[in-house]
Structure 1
């Protein structure tokens, strides 16, 4: 898996912030959820986007409104209910395994 290192870096960051891992790379009819976590009673779906350079755009540019909508559908599918508190977040990874920085965002839906 090409971006596995970025997902691992994102997960380490989130666990260090008090998140609890519930699942990784969970497939749904709407797409794949990179990380499913919980923090303070809220279920958190995290999309990890990595770019080594800006040649193909930034990680943020890869998060389209369609992608965000599909993440929300995937979250509801995985949780099996529409009334649970869910938050969508993204961890953007800029760089390569030897040299990178993380940007952690809460997505507005």
Structure 2
């Protein structure tokens, strides 16, 4: 049976993306050692780097989406490489950056009032 993502999980994922650079440093250590990471290591690295606790379901979903070779491990290239590429592709123009900044500030205000 398919289980969707809750709003809290969605919010956690985007809070995590706002701290992607901090997490990328942790992932880079695994990359230097030519290692990929499993779900437990991923969740632990996210928590250490960002202070966010992602649910097991959310971590599992992230792995289903980004684990390109289906080895139940995420490499730096599979996750950070793809996420950085997507973030840069979306912000190539000034208007895109302006819209993203406006959206982010609106989202922060909304989350702060909850």
Which structure's residues are more often helix, by fraction? 2
TM-score by length of structure 2 reads 0.30
TM-score by length of structure 1 reads 0.31
Which structure's residues are more often strand, by fraction? 1
Rg larger in 1 or in 2?
2
